[in-house]
Amino acid sequence: MLANWLIPDWPVAGRVRAVFTTRHGGVSPAPWDSLNLGDHVGDDFARVAANRKALQVAIGQRPVFLKQIHGADVLNIDSSTADGQAFDACITSQREVACTIMVADCLPVLFATADGRSVGAAHAGWRGLAGGAGLSNALPADLASADGVLEAVYASIKALAQSLRAPVAIDSVANEEPELMAWLGPCIGPAAFEVGAEVKNAFESVQPQSAKCFALTTSGKYLADLPALARLRLAALGVNKIYGNDGSADWCTVSNPSRFFSHRRDAGVNSGSNGFGTTGRMAACVWID
């Protein structure tokens, strides 16, 4: 793997491997320079395919690329799983494939059980992270408590881990829930992620303590701390071993243009016909070696 890619620093079992790519190491020209892994951002498909192949060769597994739609559905992947399915998270207990999430400002969250037999990855933009209120783009009372993408992965990977255990007596320690840990990758930082009151309300409707993750600006909007919001949601699930992004500047995709792609930073600079910034996509991958 390239020296300037990020290797997560977390105490996972030796069989678990993970990586976060940067914008370096590919064949795409500007504005996708150079390791663009997204096939939906205007880059030439042949170049994207070459970049994806380079990633596969580097990690020695096939990365399974999803069609991410800011939802909360989870796909259990194996060697037969095709790319391009509409999910925002995936899990696996199988070798030969890597759970893969593409980002260019949203927060990637990687999961692993302590025994290293199950892993997962989640695409946690604010909508998927907030859950029902965010996914609905409104605040109806009947959706305010709906789970988000982290809760969905938590439930799915726990169920998968339990299914791998041999049947034992109900009071056996083997029937205890497997311990999970999480790693947060680079994303738009708390000094750059300006949002409206509706985003703040979406989080507070589920977790009132989320208010501390928002800072009011002089324009009447808010700066949101996405990694802190994710840590709150994970802690509420009982996931206390959380590593990686702490909200500091080095983790901010917007603030580090030579290293990271950023959808928000490049909006208006390389504007596409859809009105969004044209830039590449990075990948967070986790797999069982």
Contact between residue 254 and residue 189 where contact means Cβ atoms under 8 Å apart: yes
Least confident interval from 16-20, 33-37, 50-54, 141-145 = 141-145
Backbone angles phi, psi at 202, to 5 degrees: -60, -40
Residue 75's nearest CA partner among 55, 56, 99, 59 is 99
Mean per-residue pLDDT for 178-195?
96
**Cα–Cα distance for residue pair 126/199, rounded to 1 Å:** 8
C-alpha of 101 from chain center: 6
In terms of pLDDT, which residue wins out, 136 or 130?
130
**Which superfamily does 16-191+227-288 belong to?**
CNF1/YfiH-like putative cysteine hydrolases (3.60.140.10)
Q: How confident is the model at residue 178 (pLDDT cuts 50, 70, 90)?
A: confident
Residue 244 CB neighbour total at 10 angstroms: 23
Instruction: Name the token pair of 254.
Output: 């917007």
Contact between residue 181 and residue 240 where contact means Cβ atoms under 8 Å apart: no
pTM of the model: 0.92
State residue 278's pLDDT score. Answer: 86
Residue 21 CB neighbour total at 10 angstroms: 33
- Tell me how far apart the 2 most distant CA atoms of the chain are, in Å: 61
Q: How confident is the model at residue 271 (pLDDT cuts 50, 70, 90)?
A: low
- Do the strands 222-224 and 194-195 form a parallel or antiparallel pair, or are they unpaired? antiparallel
Delimit the domains of the chain by residue range.
Answer: 16-191+227-288
Residue 264's nearest CA partner among 274, 278, 251 is 278
Residue 274 has pLDDT above 60, yes or no: no
